[in-house]
Amino acid sequence: MTAEHTTANATCTATQATTAEDLLGTTPIADLERLIAAKELSAEELTRAALDKAARLNPKLNAFTDLHPDEAIAAARALDDVQTRNGHTTGPLHGIPVAIKDENDVAGYVTGYGGAAFTHVAEHDSAVVGRLREAGAIVIGKTRMPEFGIWPWTESSANGYTRNPWNTLRSTAGSSGGSAASVAAGIVPVAIGGDGGGSIRLPSSFCGLFGLKCQRGRVTASPNRNLWQSLGVIGPLARFTADSALVYDVIAGSLPTDPWPAPPLDRPLSDAVRSDGPISPLRIAVSAKNPTGGPTADRETLDALKATADALAALGHHMEHIDPKYPAITYEFLAQTAAGVAEEAARADQPQLLEARTRRLLALTRPLRPLNASAIRHGIAMGLEFDRTFFADYDLLITPTTPTPAVPVGQLDGQGAIAASLKAVGASSYTAIWNVLGNPAAAVPSGFSRDGLPLSVQLIAPQNREDRALAVAAQLERVRPWTGRLPEV
């Protein structure tokens, strides 16, 4: 820390602002909280740094739909005032700037679902946004997504491409691509995404982040009854495993209206990532097999999978190369996707502004919607059976997250609904099965390609064992750290 950081003056100097910007991309939330608690850093200083960085980088990345500078700075000043009066911070995220994916309600702003068909302003925060604010987080803006999160690339006719901070000619993947870009670029320490077929894990893979898809029902989707039926979950994208665990500790919890509540966790997930206790050797299966018959991962991705498995073996875990007998999930996934997209599209107040590709997809998938209830039952039953069989013998499964590193932007250019859907199935072929079955699954950085693009492996845990995936990911972060290398953008 420089001498300028010993003041709590809300009007920061250029040196302070620069240093605060650096902290956003390099410092775990717990360490930022210690600086704020010691009044070496103020909530307003950190928030201004995030807003300044967002304003400077968003024209290059197209990560944000909206930035909320006046509201964010007012909220930060209020937190600083409360801390001055009470002598302590207000919660575990006091003064931490966060970004929110555009499918979540933020009071006073349009919930746009990534397109142009929505103009109504949300009157209230979603439950997740409310929980973040109660913990002291400051919402600086909303982030880009493809329309309704349909596609695994953050592109739309209304909003163009969202670009990867590691190489702006490359995709962030999707659908939480704006959230991924905002974290990877060091604008915010953490951003909220959603995952109905890989939409937290795919952008984490392409952008060099840690992204855990939690257990089905772990986080409420309120005020909505669900997110893409039983497929979708809401959760953070982060650079540090500890930041992901901390945010989940804040936002986790079901409501009586939730259709598939997860059982309460036995302990905070933050406990799982602590380094002061040994982890018993685990039985970990390693498989490069594509669960849905999609493309086999490329050589660099497979080499990274092997290097990660070798690191886990060196940590004392028992590694076994085995290809699980994956259930077929096409019907269960497509029927729920069709119903979920139709439900969200019905909320549009300007339906004529839906993308032509979306309108065509809605028409093509209409016959699938009546199968939704059956698809939900089958998917949940298959998840329980996979747990009873495969995870009776193994504690974790490790696979690639994506078949390749980040692909070029423009993946949807010239693609109609059918061609885009077929292409999307391959892109999410390692991830979508875990949305159907419901298991926790995490994208963990595993190195870099020859072109300097992030690589990723996926850790899949038994049902309701997010703690196990987090504990092993934290081990990997310590022995194969990824947080020290930042994109040049």
Distance separating alpha carbons of residues 375 and 286, to the nearest angstrom:
29
DSSP string, 372-427: HHHHHHHHHHHHHHHHHHHHHH-SEEEEESSSSSPPBS-TTTT--HHHHHHHHHHH
Q: Which two tokens mark 157?
A: 């006719």
User: Which of 42, 126, 156, 175 is an active site residue?
Assistant: 175
In angstroms, how far is CA 28 from the centroid of its own chain? 17
End-to-end, the C-alpha distance of the chain in Å comes to 24
Nearest-angstrom CA–CA distance, 140 and 133: 11
Please count the other Cβ atoms lying within 10 Å of the Cβ belonging to residue 393.
11
Pairwise CA distance, residues 355 & 476, whole Å? 41
Helices and strands in the chain, H and E counts: 16, 15
Report CA Rg, the chain. Answer: 21
> Containing H/E element for 442?
strand 441-448
Chain centre distance of CA 221: 15
Strands, DSSP E only, in 144-199?
Answer: 155-156, 160-161, 163-164, 167-171, 190-195
CA distance 41 to 4: 9
Active-site residue identified among 53, 101, 142, 213: 101
Rounded to whole angstroms, the Cα distance separating 429 from 431 reads 6
175 belongs to the catalytic site:
yes
Nearest partner of 145 among 100, 184, 205, 96, judged by Cα: 100
Instruction: Determine which helix (DSSP H) or strand (DSSP E) holds 120, and give its type and residue range.
Output: none
Question: What is the rounded distance in angstroms from the CA atom of residue 239 to the CA atom of residue 118?
Answer: 31
Q: Which amino acid is at 446?
A: S
Q: What angle (nearest 5°) sits at the alpha carbon of residue 406, between those of residues 336 and 313? A: 90
Cβ-contact 218, 269 below 8 angstroms: no
What letter represents residue 81's amino acid? D
CA pair distance 179, 177, nearest whole angstrom: 5
Of 377, 429, 430, 376, nearest to 230 by C-alpha is 376
What is d(CA 67, CA 389) in angstroms, rounded to the nearest whole number?
Answer: 47
Q: Which of 156, 199, 244, 421 is catalytic?
A: 199
Q: From the CB of residue 178, how many other CB atoms can be counted at a distance below 10 Å?
A: 33
423 is catalytic: no
Give me the active site residues, please: 101, 175, 199
